[in-house]
């Protein structure tokens, strides 16, 4: 709960989070002080039973407790003149706010923010965000932090930012981002129409460059200067830049009568600007609204900065992985294709790999393996393992089992690989018949699919995974490959799904492979991955070999 704990500590009031059963899961230090209880005395307890009391200190039935009813309703609510009981039995009159808390459209937790009732709330402002009470402001900032920091996808962060400010603060939100090439891109123009969000894509797209000296509000925000109020009259004068022309078009198209523009700053540079606009809401934004907007924009900037850094790392990792994985050799009389799918939620580099190369005796070696881990160390270990396997297979005219025995003996003293699984096979043509000989070191079994849709998992030749330190004699197995048949070598990411058994995954792969047996190899492979691959769980390396009919 490190992320929620950090967010709660930034709130200037007592705060705690409860789960779906109403039990406290995290609490901030101010709540501990106000309640006279330690976190250990609060976490895990039912908040209603432990804290909620009537004005005379009596226990409250859940049906008569305003906070409990708000919790069950699952929507934001607030109240005054309710009571918590302290550890010493004294009553604490409180004002409170309850709001759903957590990422996604259906948050699984609830945030409760409270302070002593005698503390005055912020006074109302003239039709702007200053109408929000102090508790509402604090809750909004806490929600902004947890929503935006729980994703590393730029588009998803923008989607969440829009949902946070509309329609709570404005009728329109416009997000302008500065790309890594120092170009301005209008990434989002969204209008709140009741409970519906309308995306105005016709107003999005590339923008003119940022003027170096323009005093107009958007230009100043994109230079990171300051937050500013604006209205239609701001851009009705002669434009001083292309951006000013675009802003005039925005005000004309949207009908905004009041806007506030805040810079979106990252840790090292300005990333863009956020414009909040009003068309239907009465009153204009005021300078009292700007600190809240700046706080929201600052949190958005940190989240976007982290997301961009993560995406750059993913791109570097993906490029590295593509260079590590080899090109397939052309073998007369055989069709081969390979696929590598990184897990979207991982670092896009890991220990799943494939290989195919021609041996000195004319046979073709095939390998698929998985080094434990999903990071750069796993990728480096994978490269070591693959290169050693190639050297042993080329330099020793031995069956796959003996090559893998040599490799296993060398892993611990020579490489950084802790453990790995592997299938090594050789395919060759003998008297007009293609044959596959393989050994399996703890890896999911190859799947043989005939052109008639018959399937068979090749479970023979199975032995221990690599890196256990146990010296064992490995076995080979051989099968004839009939014309039109396909052999699949794959990593476990193709068949392992959380909450399902491995047999479920293997049966699903068998079923879909049989249904696609009549397809050409490239189409067979793509369709199989689309149907079978569990998205976002693990990397997948797949090598498919097909014997022409």
Convert the pLDDT of each residue in 231-252 to its tens digit.
Answer: 999 888 889 999 999 999 999 9
* Candidates 3.30.450.40, 3.40.640.10, 3.40.50.10490, 3.90.1150.200; CATH matching 151-314: 3.30.450.40
Convert the pLDDT of each residue in 423-467 to its tens digit.
Answer: 999 999 988 899 999 999 999 999 999 999 999 999 999 999 998
What pLDDT score does 347 carry?
47
The percent of residues above 70 in pLDDT, for the chain, comes to 89
Tally of residues, the chain: 549
Convert the pLDDT of each residue in 407-416 to its tens digit.
Answer: 999 888 887 7
Query: What span, in angstroms and rounded, lies between the C-alpha atoms of 101 and 139?
Result: 9
Q: Do domains 151-314 and 325-546 have the same CATH topology?
A: no
Q: Where are the domains of the chain?
A: 2-125, 151-314, 325-546
Query: What span, in angstroms and rounded, lies between the C-alpha atoms of 465 and 385?
Result: 13
Query: What span, in angstroms and rounded, lies between the C-alpha atoms of 473 and 378?
Result: 26
DSSP H or E run through 483? none
Query: What span, in angstroms and rounded, lies between the C-alpha atoms of 467 and 488?
Result: 25
Top CATH class of 2-125 equals alpha beta
Query: What span, in angstroms and rounded, lies between the C-alpha atoms of 109 and 19?
Result: 5
What pLDDT score does 324 carry?
59
CB neighbours (10 Å) of residue 276? 25
* CATH number, span 325-546: 3.60.40.10
Convert the pLDDT of each residue in 351-388 to its tens digit.
Answer: 788 999 999 888 999 999 988 765 556 667 777 888 89
Distances (CA, A) of 91 to 16, 34, 82, 378: 18, 11, 10, 57
Convert the pLDDT of each residue in 1-55 to its tens digit.
Answer: 456 677 777 777 889 999 989 999 999 999 999 999 999 999 999 999 999 988 8
The pairing of strands 477-481 and 433-441 is antiparallel
Beta bridge partners of 114: 14, 96
Is 315 a residue whose pLDDT tops 70?
no
Buried b (16+ CB within 10 A) or exposed e, 348-379: bbbbbbbbbbeeeeebbbbbbbbbbbbeebbb
Query: What span, in angstroms and rounded, lies between the C-alpha atoms of 505 and 397?
Result: 36
Convert the pLDDT of each residue in 136-185 to its tens digit.
Answer: 777 788 888 888 888 888 889 999 999 999 998 999 999 999 998 889 99
Is 318 a residue whose pLDDT tops 80?
no
Is 125 a residue whose pLDDT tops 70?
no
* Cβ pair 256, 172 in contact under 8 A: yes
Query: What span, in angstroms and rounded, lies between the C-alpha atoms of 531 and 505?
Result: 12
Distances (CA, A) of 113 to 11, 62, 137, 141, 160: 8, 19, 11, 12, 21
* Cβ pair 490, 543 in contact under 8 A: yes
pLDDT confidence bin for 119, thresholds 50/70/90: very low
């Amino acid at each position: 709960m490190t992320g929620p704990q950090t967010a709660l500590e930034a709130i200037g009031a007592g705060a705690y989070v409860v789960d779906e059963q109403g039990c406290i899961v995290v609490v901030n230090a101010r709540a501990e002080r106000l309640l006279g209880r330690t976190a250990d005395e609060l976490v895990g307890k039912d908040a209603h039973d432990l804290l909620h009391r009537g004005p005379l200190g009596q226990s409250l039935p859940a049906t008569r407790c305003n906070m409990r009813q708000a919790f069950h309703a699952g929507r934001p609510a607030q109240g005054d003149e309710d009571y918590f009981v302290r550890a010493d039995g004294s009553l604490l009159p409180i004002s409170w706010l309850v709001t759903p808390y957590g990422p996604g459209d259906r948050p699984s937790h609830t945030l409760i923010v409270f302070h002593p009732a005698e503390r005055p709330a912020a006074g109302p402002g003239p039709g702007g965000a200053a109408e929000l009470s102090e508790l509402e402001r604090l809750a909004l900032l806490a929600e902004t932090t947890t929503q935006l920091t729980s994703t590393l996808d730029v588009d998803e962060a923008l989607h969440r930012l829009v949902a946070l400010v509309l329609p709570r603060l404005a009728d329109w939100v416009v997000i302008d981002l500065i790309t890594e090439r120092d170009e301005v891109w209008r990434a989002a123009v969204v209008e709140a129409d009741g409970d519906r969000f309308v995306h105005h894509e016709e107003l999005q797209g590339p923008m003119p460059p940022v003027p170096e000296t323009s005093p107009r509000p958007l230009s100043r925000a994109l230079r990171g200067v300051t937050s500013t109020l604006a209205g239609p009259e701001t851009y009705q004068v002669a434009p001083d830049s292309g951006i000013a022309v675009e802003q005039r078009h925005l005000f004309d198209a949207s009908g905004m009568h009041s806007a506030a523009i805040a810079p979106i700053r990252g840790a090292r540079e300005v990333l863009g600007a956020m414009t909040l606009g009003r068309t239907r809401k009465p009153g204009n934004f005021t300078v009292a609204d700007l600190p809240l907007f700046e706080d929201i924009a600052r949190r958005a900037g940190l989240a976007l900065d982290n997301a961009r850094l993560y995406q750059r790392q993913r791109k570097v990792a993906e490029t590295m992985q593509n260079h590590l994985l080899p090109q397939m050799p052309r073998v007369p009389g055989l069709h081969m294709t390979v696929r590598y799918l990184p897990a979207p939620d991982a670092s896009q580099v890991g220990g799943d790999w494939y290989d195919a190369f021609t041996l000195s005796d004319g046979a073709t070696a095939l390998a698929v393996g998985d080094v434990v881990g999903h990071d750069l160390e796993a990728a480096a270990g994978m490269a070591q393992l693959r290169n050693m396997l190639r050297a042993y297979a080329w330099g020793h005219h031995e069956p796959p089992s003996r090559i893998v025995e040599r490799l296993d003996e060398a892993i611990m003293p020579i490489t950084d690989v802790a453990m790995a699984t592997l299938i090594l096979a050789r395919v060759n043509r003998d008297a007009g018949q293609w044959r596959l000989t393989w050994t399996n070191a703890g890896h999911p079994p190859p799947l043989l699919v005939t052109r008639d849709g018959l399937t068979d998992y090749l479970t023979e030749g199975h032995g221990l995974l690599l890196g256990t330190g146990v010296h064992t004699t490995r076995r080979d197995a051989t099968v004839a490959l009939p014309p039109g048949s396909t052999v699949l070598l794959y990593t476990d990411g193709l068949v392992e799904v959380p909450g399902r058994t491995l047999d479920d995954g293997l049966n699903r792969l068998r079923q879909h492979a049989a249904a696609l047996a009549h397809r050409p190899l490239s189409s067979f492979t793509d369709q199989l991955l689309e149907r079978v691959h569990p998205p976002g769980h693990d990397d997948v390396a797949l090598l498919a070999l097909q014997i022409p009919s």
